[in-house]
């Protein structure tokens, strides 16, 4: 089901678009309340999901706390942060698009008939901090125990994520009904094509620059390095999972690297956390959604704070379709002022665009591993 999620959401949009006028308003209100309740349930489980995934990643790095692992970790953070900051400029361009929606008048907006709001026991930022500290401390002091805990937590998180992903279609369905009721859905369909085009052009232009610089401007090497990564990128596009494309990514990076053994050690450590596609798509979509809903463009300092949490949260992204956006929902809500409808819209946009995002992630991982392995090989020869 997960690999078919974009097609499921596309079919859902068509069905709701055709049938929403036949649904009585009281039923629409119930379905909208269901979506709000699912959103609340997802948000309430996110601290545990973030803790489990980030704890596992941190333990893995702590258990292999060599100079190379630390170099990879720092490089991942810097690369993700650079991509996120570049996307700020692209997002500012997206914010200039004419995306202001015609909002319903007072009393015309669909209201939920009920909303379930479970208590949130711990904040996501606290979950991140706790996972980092405990992962590092236990990974160093009790590596076997830490690995066992991480494995068990990863199994539990996997079950939770499956439930969350099955809940995404009904979660989005209620908001689609609301947007049709409020007469804004047709506007979204007509105007977000240019946002998708801007996102794709910007992320792949950035990736091309990475490969060109890594190839030191040598045209033949540049073209060959891109060609070697095409099979992996196609696999990522079709599976919407960087992990599923990893065997082909390894083959491509080995061909592009001067040190294949070193390249093989980089890809497994970066496949689920170095996500260039996400770092471009989510902020750009966020700017477009804010413009559509009349939310003020974030100041640079506000975006900088968002970017720091965004990069940290990348270490807790699940390797499943749509996993990149799930852990970002509370960050978007807290630091960029997203409400429930905005969160549902950016989730739908992300999942619909997920094949392109994953393709970009795979290409980005290949360029990152190629550049880092060449830099490391050069440093070793110099030393």
pLDDT at 377: 57
Sequential pLDDT tens for the chain (383 residues): 555 666 777 788 788 888 888 888 888 888 888 888 887 787 778 778 778 777 876 776 666 555 566 777 788 889 999 999 999 999 999 998 877 655 544 456 777 887 777 776 776 667 777 877 888 788 888 888 888 888 888 788 778 877 877 887 887 788 778 877 777 666 666 778 889 999 999 999 999 999 998 888 787 888 888 888 888 888 778 666 676 677 778 788 878 776 666 666 677 767 778 889 999 999 999 999 998 888 889 999 999 999 998 988 887 766 555 667 877 888 898 889 898 888 888 888 888 788 889 899 999 988 888 888 777 655 545 55
pLDDT at 363: 92
pLDDT at 306: 92
CATH of residue 276? 1.10.3860
Establish how many alpha carbons lie within 13 A of residue 156's alpha carbon, considering only the half-sphere containing its beta carbon. Answer: 15
Q: Which of 309, 308, 281, 286 is nearest to 297 (CA)?
A: 286
Q: Which residue has the tokens 């807790």?
A: 316
Q: Can you give the residue range of the structural domain that contains 148?
A: 2-382
Q: How far is CA 14 from CA 2, 177, 285, in A?
A: 19, 11, 21
pLDDT at 105: 47
pLDDT at 260: 67
Nearest-angstrom CA–CA distance, 231 and 252: 8
**3-state class (DSSP) for residue 322:** coil
Supply angle C-alpha 95, 97, 102, rounded to 5.
100
**3-state class (DSSP) for residue 334:** helix
Instruction: Report yes or no: 278 and 317 within 8 Å, Cβ to Cβ.
Output: yes
Q: Which residue has the tokens 């094509």?
A: 193
The total domain count for the chain is: 1
Q: How many CB atoms lie within 10 A of CB 100?
A: 12
pLDDT at 278: 92
pLDDT at 74: 84
Per-residue pLDDT reduced to its tens digit, 75-109: 888 999 999 999 999 999 999 887 765 554 445 67
pLDDT at 106: 45
């Amino acid at each position: 089901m997960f690999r078919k999620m974009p097609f499921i959401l596309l079919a859902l949009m068509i069905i709701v678009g055709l049938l929403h006028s036949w649904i009585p308003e009281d039923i629409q209100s119930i379905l909208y309340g269901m979506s709000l309740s699912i959103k609340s349930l997802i948000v309430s489980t996110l601290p545990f999901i973030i803790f489990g995934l980030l704890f596992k990643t941190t333990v893995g790095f702590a258990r292999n706390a060599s100079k190379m692992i630390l170099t990879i970790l720092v490089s991942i953070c810097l690369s993700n942060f650079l991509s996120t900051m570049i996307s700020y400029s692209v997002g500012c361009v997206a914010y200039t698009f004419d995306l202001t929606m015609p909002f319903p008048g007072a009393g015309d907006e669909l209201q939920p008939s009920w909303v379930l709001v479970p208590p949130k026991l711990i904040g996501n930022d606290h979950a991140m901090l706790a996972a980092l500290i405990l992962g590092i401390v236990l990974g160093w002091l009790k590596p076997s125990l830490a690995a066992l805990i991480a494995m068990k937590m990863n199994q539990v998180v996997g079950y939770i994520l499956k439930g969350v992903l099955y809940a995404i279609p009904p979660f989005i369905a209620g908001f689609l009904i609301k947007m049709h009721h409020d007469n804004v859905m047709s506007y979204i369909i007509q105007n977000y094509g240019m946002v998708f085009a801007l996102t794709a052009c910007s992320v792949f232009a950035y990736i091309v620059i990475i490969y060109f610089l890594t190839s030191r401007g040598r045209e033949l090497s540049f073209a060959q390095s891109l060609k070697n990564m095409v099979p992996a990128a196609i696999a990522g596009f079709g599976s919407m999972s960087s992990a599923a494309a990893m065997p082909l990514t390894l083959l491509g990076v080995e061909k592009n690297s001067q040190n294949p053994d070193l390249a093989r050690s980089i890809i497994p450590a970066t496949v689920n956390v170095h996500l260039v596609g996400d770092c471009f798509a989510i902020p750009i979509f966020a700017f477009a959604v804010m413009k559509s809903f009349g939310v003020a463009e974030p100041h640079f300092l506000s975006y900088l704070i968002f970017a720091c949490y965004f990069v940290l949260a990348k270490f807790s992204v699940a390797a499943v379709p749509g996993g990149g956006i799930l852990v970002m929902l509370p960050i978007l809500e807290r630091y960029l002022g997203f409400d429930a409808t905005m969160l549902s819209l950016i989730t739908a946009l992300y999942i619909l665009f997920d094949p392109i995002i994953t393709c970009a992630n795979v290409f980005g991982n290949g360029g990152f591993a190629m550049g880092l392995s060449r830099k490391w090989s050069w440093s070793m020869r110099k030393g």
